[in-house]
Amino acid sequence: MPIEESPKVTRRSTRSSSSVTVENPEPSESHLPTVDDLTFGKESITLDAVLSIFPGRRSQIFDLIRLMGPLNCPTLPIMIYGGASTGKTSVVLQVLRHLNRPFVYSSCRTCYTPRILFESILNQLLLHRKCSSNGYSSAKRCDKPSDFVNLLREALSNVIESLESGSRTSRPNKSDGKPMGKMVYLILDNVDLIRDWDKGSMILQFLFSLHTVLKMPQLGIILISGLPPDVYYSNMGYTDPLPLYFPEYSEEDLRQIFLRNQANRKLYSAFLDVVLKPFCRVTRSVEELCTTFSSLFRKYCEPLDDLGISPNEDMKRRLYSNLKPLIASCLNEIFRVSSHPHDGDTRGERRQKASCSSENREELEILDFHMSTSAKYLLIAAFLASRNPATLDASMFDSTGGMDNRKRKRKASEKSMEKKEIAEQEAVMKGPGSFPLERLLAIFQCIASVGDSSFGEEEEAEDEDPTGYEKENSNLMSDILLQVSSLCDANFLIKSGSCPLEGSIRYRSMVSEDLALKAARSLNFPLSKYLYRR
């Protein structure tokens, strides 16, 4: 999980304050970055302001400031950890803004290889900016950790030198955005992602021991991670970073967070009364809640003409009853696709039509994308092959075999029933079974020939025609391997196995029963007859 900055600072508030500052005119294209750019860039804020932006983070903020120590005091590496969207990154950045100290920030999400990570850090320290005139190249090419140490040392000493000279000349005014002190902080975000990198453990060890290797007290290292420090420990003889935990927000904290910057706090508070509790049980990630709430709040306000009113009890109740049906559906989904206005109309209309003309035998509309008939049969065959045990194929596709099976089932004793239940649960845990291509094709052939008798009536108007239809049956088989590959492409089948020449490749159907039923219905194929139910 990436570390999200907390949402408490709206862009509007920071922007309005920055537009007031006269000292900071809009930089032109040729603006050259200076050491000043290593700070947060806007005028610093007071501690109270920081505390007020982050409700429920008071102790963490004080801890962080304490760990970083007073001005020009060397610090040990700090590791900040906690779940997603708990304000780790934003707290660090805002605290540094408050302290007005220079820092360098790199996220391991954006810098997805060691080289990009190293070069990104060096670019910031060397005040280098990629642009078309330098061919978007980095200041220094740096692949290896050893090179990085040397280059970092060099760059760092330059920066500190200019910081020292700067601090000698500048006024001791805290709020002008000039960097304070001779310490540079290195913030590495999303450190947990490094574990998935190629040779990630090596890079992690290097970063953890960077402080001791570099031997420069002027560099303070702050690591931000979604995982607790335990996962990184490896007894490699470096000093462990000082941990700082950001716990999940409580419900009350979340209320505070969401109430900030609301135009009509009373209305929003009424809204939160309704939604916060159920949603908190699902997730406490501010980011997730924020997107859900913003759309829900829009729905909530829909019946209102004036958004400035403060709702009374009766109105609250009415608004709630309005919203109630939506909440349950929102709780379960993380991914919503809204439809475009033009688009939605036509689709809605089609839906209606489909339901209206229920006597219409053509139910193809239910499957809302096009598949050729043979692909549909193949899909069903794959579904059957994945769900049914291979040993039952013979009985399933034999007209008499199915009966035998049922008889045996009736005779089963209590104990064997129990066993069966366990086996059933196991099968559910295992998911769809895999099958070789030959089995798929055999089942396909069976059901395509069975289905054709009923299918001919539905799809083929001309099967009284002596020429067309006879050939078609055999042709259904001809391009079948092509269809297999296109089903694979659509993620309906997944392949596993090794050498294709060996023929040991196995497939697995990833289709939900729902979709398979839809496909079967469009072919008038009796799927449930062939499905083995334990």
Partner 1 sequence: MAPSGTVADPLPTSTNDSFNSGDTSENDIRPFFVLHKASSGSNLHGKLNGTVKSKRRIESPTPKIAKRSEVESVEEDGQFFSTLRLKVFETVWSKIEKTIADVLRNSNSKVFSGIYDWIRESFESIVSSGALRISEAVRSYPVLTQASSKQLLTAMVLTRNLEMVDDLLTFQELELQLKTQGCHVAKLSSMDFSAKTSVGGCLRGLLRQFVMPTIDVADVTILASWYRENKNHDNPVVIIVDDTERCCGSVLSDLILILSEWAVKVPIFLVMGVSTAHDAPRKILSVNALQRLCAIRFTLSSPAERMDAVLEAVFLRPCSGFTVSHKVAIFMRSYFLCQDGTLTSFVRTLKIACLQHFSSEPLSIMLEHFCQDGINQLSDKGTGLLTEATMKHAFHLPSVTRNKITRSTYEMLPQFLSDLQRMPNPWSIVILCIYEAGKYDKVRLLDIFCETLDPEARYLRYFSPSATANCQTHDSGRSCVIRRVLRKLRDLSPSQLSNMLKSWENLTADFSEINDKVMELHPFMRSVEAAGQRQGLPNSPKKHASRSISKHEKELKAMTDKVAVVIEFMLREYMKPVENVPFHEILCFKDVDKLQSALLGDPRGRIQSDLLESHNILHCVCCSKRGTNLLPSMHDTSILYTLAQEHADVINLHDWYQSFKTILVPRTSKAKPKSKSSSKSKKRKDICEEPEAPAEALIQARFCRAVMELQIAGLIRMPSKRRPDFVQRVAFGS
First to last CA, the chain: 39
Residues in 487-516 that interact with partner 1 by CB under 8 A: 487, 489-492, 501-503, 510, 515
Choice from 252, 302, 349, 362 touching partner 1 (CB under 8 A): 362
Q: What type of residue is 164?
A: E
Eight-state DSSP code of residue 26? P
Q: How far is the CB of 74 from partner 1 (least distance, A)?
A: 23
Could you tell me which of 428, 429, 448 has the C-alpha nearest to residue 440?
448
Query: Is residue 416 within the footprint of partner 1 (CB under 8 A)?
Result: no
Q: Count of residues binding partner 1 (CB under 8 A)?
A: 112
Query: Is residue 129 within the footprint of partner 1 (CB under 8 A)?
Result: yes
Task: Decide whether 306 or 502 has the Cβ nearer to partner 1.
Answer: 502
Query: Is residue 100 within the footprint of partner 1 (CB under 8 A)?
Result: no
* Segment interacting with partner 1 (CB under 8 A) among 169-177, 371-379, 396-404, 526-534: 371-379
Task: Decide whether 109 or 318 has the Cβ nearer to partner 1.
Answer: 109
Choice from 44, 86, 120, 522 touching partner 1 (CB under 8 A): 120
Site string for partner 1, 179-208 (x = CB under 8 A): --------x---------------------
Residues in 32-61 that interact with partner 1 by CB under 8 A: 33, 37, 41
Choice from 48, 136, 169, 428 touching partner 1 (CB under 8 A): 136
User: Cα torsion for 164, 185, 148, 168, to the nearest 10°?
Assistant: 0
- The residue written with tokens 């989904």 in the block is 333
For residues 68 and 450, give the distance between their C-alpha atoms in angstroms, rounded to a whole number: 75
Task: Decide whether 238 or 469 has the Cβ nearer to partner 1.
Answer: 469
For residues 50 and 35, give the distance between their C-alpha atoms in angstroms, rounded to a whole number: 24
Task: Decide whether 305 or 369 has the Cβ nearer to partner 1.
Answer: 369
Q: How big is the CA angle at 307 (ends 305 and 309), to the nearest 5 degrees?
A: 100
Query: Is residue 93 within the footprint of partner 1 (CB under 8 A)?
Result: yes
* Segment interacting with partner 1 (CB under 8 A) among 109-117, 165-173, 175-183, 205-213: 109-117
Choice from 288, 320, 427, 506 touching partner 1 (CB under 8 A): 288
Q: At what angle do helices 313-332 and 286-301 cross, to 10 degrees?
A: 130
* Segment interacting with partner 1 (CB under 8 A) among 201-209, 269-277, 317-325, 454-462: 454-462
Task: Decide whether 100 or 107 has the Cβ nearer to partner 1.
Answer: 107
Query: Is residue 23 within the footprint of partner 1 (CB under 8 A)?
Result: no
* Segment interacting with partner 1 (CB under 8 A) among 70-78, 215-223, 233-241, 482-490: 482-490
Q: How big is the CA angle at 181 (ends 180 and 182), to the nearest 5 degrees?
A: 135
Query: Is residue 343 within the footprint of partner 1 (CB under 8 A)?
Result: yes
For residues 518 and 365, give the distance between their C-alpha atoms in angstroms, rounded to a whole number: 10
For residues 8 and 287, give the distance between their C-alpha atoms in angstroms, rounded to a whole number: 11
* Segment interacting with partner 1 (CB under 8 A) among 145-153, 214-222, 309-317, 369-377: 369-377
Encoding tokens for residue 286? 């501010």
Encoding tokens for residue 441? 């094709």
Query: Is residue 237 within the footprint of partner 1 (CB under 8 A)?
Result: no
Q: How far is the CB of 81 from partner 1 (least distance, A)?
A: 17
Q: At what angle do helices 286-301 and 251-259 cross, to 10 degrees?
A: 60
Give buried/exposed letters for 303-333 (b at 16+ CB in 10 A, else e).
Answer: eeeeeeeebeeeeeeebbeebeeebeebeee
Query: Is residue 147 within the footprint of partner 1 (CB under 8 A)?
Result: no
For residues 248 and 1, give the distance between their C-alpha atoms in angstroms, rounded to a whole number: 14
Encoding tokens for residue 281? 């049980």
